[in-house]
Every structure is written in structure tokens, then in C-alpha cells.
Chain A
Amino acid sequence: MDLTLKVWRQAGPGTEGRIETYDVPGISEEMSFLEMLDVLNDRLIVEGREPIAFEHDCREGICGSCGMMINGQAHGPQKGTATCQLHMRKFSDGDTIVVEPWRATAFPIVKDLVVNRSTFDEIIAAGGYISVTTGAAQEANLTLVPKAVADTAMDAAQCIGCGACVAACPNSAAQLFTSAKLAHLNLLPQGQPERWDRTVRMVGVMEQYFGSCTNHGECHEACPKEISLDFIAYMNRDYRKAIVKNRSLIAQP
């Protein structure tokens, strides 16, 4: 198929960007979206024009590196699918496709489609872990985890940290990302001792960089792992409890 691409080009963090238009003929339906960009980049290089910078690594929808706005949608039109797993059969001959980077103050643009998502790491550093010194762990089967709890924790833990939730949100909020990590850890028995501190700290760092949630639900729609909005409700509940909780009574439910 023959396509027209309109791509955001920006040389560096401080510089001004603009949309550039490229004809991309002869694309196969079997190609992934990133392979289509590879083909375009190869041609640009041969023509002496700088290739389009974009992040990618695993190309299996798991590392969370890739991500771009495709026709205004984070990761493009296919639900539950990261950009690297999106295939060209989802487009038609003659289409014009607009490709832009994630847009959020907390994710400054580095170059073209590449943004800096270090603020996500900062949220994790603020308690997104269970403190267990290497070697201090007890025999694993001493802690029983009901299957339903393990399954829900896993549903939350699947988050790949790509940032699509933030990019899709009209407020650039990071509620889905933060709540997924909180739910993963706060649901498990192992996560209980640090539950309330973790919640307060992570929410605090989140609010420092990201917008607030007004329940649009766009984050869930864009999420390649289809992380549930329920986790946001769960986070809000834990947060409310955490700020009033008398921590010495922590053993009580």
C-alpha cells in the first residue's frame, strides 16, 4: 500500500519542531508500524536526510520503550496493542498517518519522537518496592497468596511503563501508572508493612510532576496492557486511609 506520513521532527530539547510530510510507497500489510518506519528511515539516509528518531527495543510489546501518537491516539488504533505490535494491515492504501511524540510536560521531548520518561522512575523510587534485603527472605511457600489476589496483583503488575496513559490523558495525569504499581504491591501480603507509607510517597511524587485525574478514562483506552481503572479507585481509597491511619494500629484491617 502507499501511504503519506506526517511526522513531528524536532532536532533537540530546546528547539522548535514541525510536521514534515513523507510519501511512503510500497508498504506490505505484514509489516509492523516500526518496520514501516525502518523502511522510511533507510530511504531517508540514502537520500541524505536525517532519519526519524524513535524509541524501541523489544518489539514485542513488553519493554515499554516504543510509543507515539498515531493519528491522535496513543499507540494507534488497535486496542491493547503497543506501537511495535501494531501491524500495517490496520491501515488502508492511500491513508495519511500523523505521527507525533507523547505530549506531556513531565515527558520533555529529546528528539523527534523520543521523550524523557525519567519521572516514572522517580515515582518507583519513592516506595514502589518491597524492602527485602537479599538473603533475608523466608521460604517462599510460608506466605500463602490466594490465587485471586495473585492474579489481580499480576493484572496490575503487567504495566510496561510506556507512558501511553499520560499521553492519552487530557490532564497528563499518571494515575493509571502509579495505581497499577500500588495495587500490585499493596494487594499482596508481602506488601502490607510498607503499604501506607508507600501510598503517600508515590502519590506525592506523582502529584509533583503530573496533572490530576478527572475520570476521563482515556488512559485505560490507550493502555497496551488494558490496565483496569479499578486500580485508580483502589489507590484513592488507600490514599485516603493512609493519610488518616494511625500507623501503630496497622496490624488491624
Chain B
Amino acid sequence: MTLNLDSKIPDGPIADKWDNQKFGMKLVAPHNRRRFDVIVVGSGLAGAAAAATLGELGYNVRCFTYHDSPRRAHSIAAQGGINAAKNYKGDGDSVERLFYDTVKGGDFRAREANVHRLAELSVDIIDQCAAQGVPFAREYSGLLDTRSFGGTQVSRTFYARGQTGQQLLLGAYQSLMHQVDAGTVELHDRTELLDVVVVDGEVAGIVTRHLHTGAVQSWSAHAVVLATGGYSNVFFLSTNAKHSNASAIWRAYRKGAAFGNPCFTQIHPTCIPASDDFQSKLTLMSESLRNDGRIWVPTEFDDKRSPDQIPAEERDYYLERRYPAFGNLVPRDVASRAAKAEVDRGRGVGELKNGVYLDFSDAIARLGRDVIEERYGNLIEMYERITDEDPYKVPMRIYPAVHYTMGGLWVDYNLQTTIPGLFAGGEANFSDHGANRLGASALMQGLADGYFVLPATLANYLADRLSRPPVPTDHPAFAEAEAAVRDRTKQLLSTGGTRTVDWFHRELGKIMWDNCGMARSTETLTKALSEIPALRSEFEKDVRILGDGDSLNQSLEKAGRVADFFELAELMCIDALHREESCGGHFRVEHQTPEGEAERDDENFSYVAAWEFTGDGNAPALNKEPLEFEYVHLAQRSYK
């Protein structure tokens, strides 16, 4: 253990901590703000919200994204909704309950103080977004509507049809473009971060490559925010957008930022099952469908009848049976494992027997087709386009898929990484979700980080640096980083092998899914740890990338990202192997209760694993941040 993992949790009762912190932090006066250069990498919910707000405040902001427009960030695809403790339905919700649900849902592996702050800020987010004109669903009264989501017993999820992420992102994007127009934010689209530059132990800036011209360039700043999203695509097949990748946070890790809980990945229970080898990504069917859809499999093994021929008594509504209190709305990890168990024991449905049914017939009978169409019309259409089946007539087929990564850069309460001046927000940090994220909480966290937390904590960091100009880009550290980026590009282009980048990525994905997916064991993880390096050295010898580095070259972009995925995959397996317990999305088959539920080991593993890079070829070093639960009592989760 060599890192000092000071979580900087403020003193005081939990409900006062954020207020205390804000009051205790230093400020930068309005006329001084333009003297500070801030870089925000990423224009998803977290990045766009942070860049827009920092711009409004008057800082000199540069925002980078590899997309052709900030509006295309992966956040756009979020469907179901965003949580907030508004208690508009009067059903017993409160900041305390959202806090409690999130800590419990995360299986007691999140920091209480962060989660409480998130729950407090959730209400401000809805106010902010409604004021921006986000067209949230409304009741006939004109008031905001909500619905319920997995892992909770209240209705606290705000939504805009099945396109909540799109509407929230457009709100943030529009605010960002407003600042671009006002001249406070300089937007650099199609520009990819390829390295982070650290001078004298503090962040100095970044090195980027322009995707259309290949130009490699250095940018310096007083502070850098990484809001670059999650790394589910290490599995190749996931619900994430095709370009989502880990390179930004991986480069930061290699420069000294600790990586928190890399093995904590979330497998989402309701995705469309894969149909064949050419499958390029998996499509999520929002979890909100579980509000009205009932999940079942035939009781008979290998039942070949079409679902409408199977009478009610020969259907096993296994979630309702096993978890009567939460039924179809158990948290994601529980629902996913239950589906896997059914498919593994041979009760899977569909041609490849790789799914379970999600059935709307009861809801249609009860509420009418119109209501179901209004709630889920666009999702049902999407399903139909992909599978050519009509869910109003036959049940959907669903199966779990990799969806979200709770792990990410370790950050303190101020969202600062272990590199001073380098901050991380949104899915890129190891965040507030512990070992399992509740549905509709990622949008909440991304926006809380971007709109409210980062602007406050950045000021505190910057206030001390008023008289210090940023490290100039002609500093040798920048030249060195640029040269490394160019060398890497050259090396990839000159490999001259025989196989495509996608081929390697797919193989890596298979290793990860089979060995570090929904169920993990010493045996599978050890196997993965021998297969990954072997595949990686083959990649280094045998990948084929055509074209040059001075123009748009999509294979080259992918190759750099896949190379980083190889290294990250190893770290994920190392972390999964070391965590000798099951918690949330991390299920070690050696550690389960007699009923097959995850069995935590609070005595030995109630900590954040923050891994530290120690050089190529060396084992990463484990640092531990102990977790203390003062307000929510440590208990085995039960959704029965």
C-alpha cells in the first residue's frame, strides 16, 4: 500500500456533510475565474453538465469529445428514467429513503457520505432539467409523472417516454452549446484524449489526436475533468455504444490515478438475446418494462410449444415465486442471476434457448393496449424491428447483458483522483453505486457530478493556484507524451498482421464473459489471467490495420482502445480474484448462501479496492479504503 487514500469525507452528521463541505471550501471570485483553464474530457451527461456549468461560472473551459457532436455521447441511449427523492406521489419517499435504497442496492460497498449527497442533489437535478425544458412525462394535471424501478418500493423515477437519457443529454448539450456561443467553452469534437500529462505530481494537461486529421496536440490546464463514461465494452458485446471505451481512464491509471473496484460490473437483466456470431452489440430493453411485464419460463424442460400454448399452471413466474415482496422488480443483479439459473438448467426459451419471457399479456388485459403503448411504445417498436416479433402478441425474449461498470477511477469526496487536479465524474469514476447500481441512478449521478459537485470542488482546488499559470505545453513532459502517442500509432500501423481488430476484441470479450461475467470463480479467473496475456501478445504480433495515421482511420482508433482493454481486462480479473466474497454484481460461486444468493464477507472485504499501476510487467498494487457504515446497518440484502 503506497497511496494515501484520504477520502476527505467532511465531518458532521450525514445530512449536513455536503453543506459543511461547501461552506468550508474556498471560492474563486467571479473576476478571477477567467484566469483559470479547465479541461473537460467527455460531453455525456457528466461532461456536458460540468463544462456548461463551469462555463457559466466564467472559467476558461475546453471540452473534448471523440464524437462528431456532443449530443451523440452514449448517455443519449439511456431509456428508463432518472431517480429523485421528490416524493411527488406521496408514497413515503424521502432523501433518507433514496440514500438507504442506494446503499443497500449497492450491497454495502459504497461510501455513505457520497450516496447521501447524491440523494440530496437528486431533487435539484429535476428542478434544473425541468427549467431547461426537458419534456418529462406529465400527468393530466400538468404535474410531473413518475414510475417505479427495480430495487425500490416507491415511485421516484422521472422519465421522458423511453428516451430519458436523450432528453436529459439534449438539455445538457443545449446548455453547453449556449456556452460555446457565449465564448466561455471551446468545443473540440472528433478529438480523442490519448494521454494525461502529469508534472511534479499534479495534472498539467492532456495529449489528443484529431480523428480526421491525425494531428497530435498538447493542451495544458489548471485542472482536468475526465467524464469519459464506462468500460463495459471490454466484453465486446454489451449494451454500450460501440465506441465507448476505457482509454481515457486507463491512461490516467497508468499515470498514477488509482482504479477503484475494477471488477464491479453490472449485468442488466432485460436485453434482447444474441442471435448469432455476427452480433455487434446487445440491445437493452429498459428495466421499466418490468413494471408491467411478468417474467417467466415454462416449467417443462426443453418445452417447444409457442408461449401462448403454454397454460398458466405450466409457467414458472420464478421472480414472483422466489421474491414475493419485490417480485419482478428485484434489483438487477438478482434478476440477472435468476435468469441465468433458469437458462443454465435448460428452461431457456427461443431458438437458441438463450432467453426468458417478459410477458405483457396480463398488463394489456388489465390496462388496455393503449396504456402499454404510451408507456413503452418506442421500446416495443425497437424490439419488433430487431426480432421481427410483436410483443403485443407474443412475449418478449430477454436475457442479461453487460451494461454498466460501477468500477472506475478512485475519487475522494471531492471527485478528485489520486492525481491532484485530475477529477473524474459520471460513469468514469468508481462512483456511488457500490457493487450494484440501481436503475435510473446513473443519470442522477452523472448530472449530480456535472452540475453540482464538480463546479464546487474544482473552485476549492483552483483557489490556491491563482498566481500560478498552467504548465506550458512546451514543457518536456508534453513532448514526451506526444512522442509516446505517435510511437504507439506507428507501432499499431506497422504490425502488418493478418487479423482484424474486431476479431481480437471479440475473442477478448468471450474470455471475459465466460470467466469474469455473471459468475466468477478462482478457476475461471485464473484461466482468464492466462488467456488474456496470450491473446494480447498475439494481438501485438498479428493485428492488421490498413491506411495511415494522418486521416480518418477507424481501425486505428479501435486498435488503440482494444489495446487498453487488454490491460484493463487483466486488472478486472485480478480484482475479481482477490475479492473472496460475493457482493452485488460480483458473484463468486465459492461464496453463496444455500439458496444461491450472494454472500458478502463484511469482516474482510468491507473496503474499496484501489489499484495502483506499478509499471508494465509488474503486478498492480492493492490499496484499501475501508468503508464504514454508520447510518445504514450492514445486513444481508433481502428482497423476499
Q: A: which residues have CB within 8 A of B? A: 11-12, 28, 30-32, 34-35, 38-39, 41-42, 45-46, 48-51, 53, 55-65, 78, 80-81, 85, 87, 89, 110-111, 114, 116-118, 120-121, 124-126, 128-141, 143-147, 150-151, 153-154, 157-158, 160-161, 184-185, 188, 190-191
Contact = CB atoms under 8 A, between A and B. Distances in A.
B216 interface: no
25 contacts: A30-B275, A46-B500, A48-B546, A51-B554, A57-B243, A58-B74, A60-B283, A61-B382, A62-B76, A63-B71, A65-B72, A110-B212, A125-B180, A129-B174, A132-B128, A134-B49, A137-B130, A140-B131, A147-B138, A153-B133, A153-B135, A157-B135, A157-B167, A158-B161, A188-B133
B227 to A, nearest CB: 15
Interface in B115-158: 124, 126-133, 135-144
Contact of B178 (A55, A129, A143, A157): A129
Interface of B: 49, 52-53, 56, 67-72, 74, 76-77, 86, 88, 124, 126-133, 135-144, 160-161, 163, 166-167, 170, 173-175, 177-178, 180-181, 187, 189, 212, 241-243, 275-276, 278-281, 283-284, 381-382, 385-386, 388, 451-452, 455, 498-500, 502-503, 544, 546-547, 551-552, 554-555
B117 to A, nearest CB: 15
B139 A147 contact: yes
A1 to B, nearest CB: 13
A134 B526 CA distance: 48
Contacts of B243: 57
Given A146-B142, A150-B137, A53 B554 contact: yes
Contact of B241 (A58, A118, A157): A58
Contacts of B386: 32, 85, 87
Contacts of B174: 124, 128-130
Contacts of A38: 278, 280, 502
A133 B56 contact: yes
A32 B173 CA distance: 29
Given A12-B551, A125-B178, A157-B167, A130 B133 contact: yes
Contacts, number: 213
A221 to B, nearest CB: 18
A134 B452 contact: yes
| Residues of A contacting B: mostly | loop
B163 A185 contact: no
| Most chain B CB neighbours (cut-off 10 Å) among A50, A126, A146, A154 | A154
Given A57-B74, A150-B137, A35 B132 contact: no
Contacts of B180: 125
Nearest to B75: A63
Contacts of B175: 129, 132, 134
| Most chain B CB neighbours (cut-off 10 Å) among A45, A46, A125, A133 | A45
A49 B160 CA distance: 44
Contacts of B160: 154, 157
B276 A32 contact: no
B133 to A, nearest CB: 5
Given A51-B555, A125-B178, A147 B140 contact: yes
Given A139-B127, A150-B135, A190-B132, A126 B181 contact: yes
A168 B578 CA distance: 56
B544 A45 contact: yes
A45 B163 contact: no
A202 to B, nearest CB: 11
A158 B187 CA distance: 24
A134 B53 contact: yes
A45 B241 contact: no
Given A57-B243, A64-B72, A129 B177 contact: yes
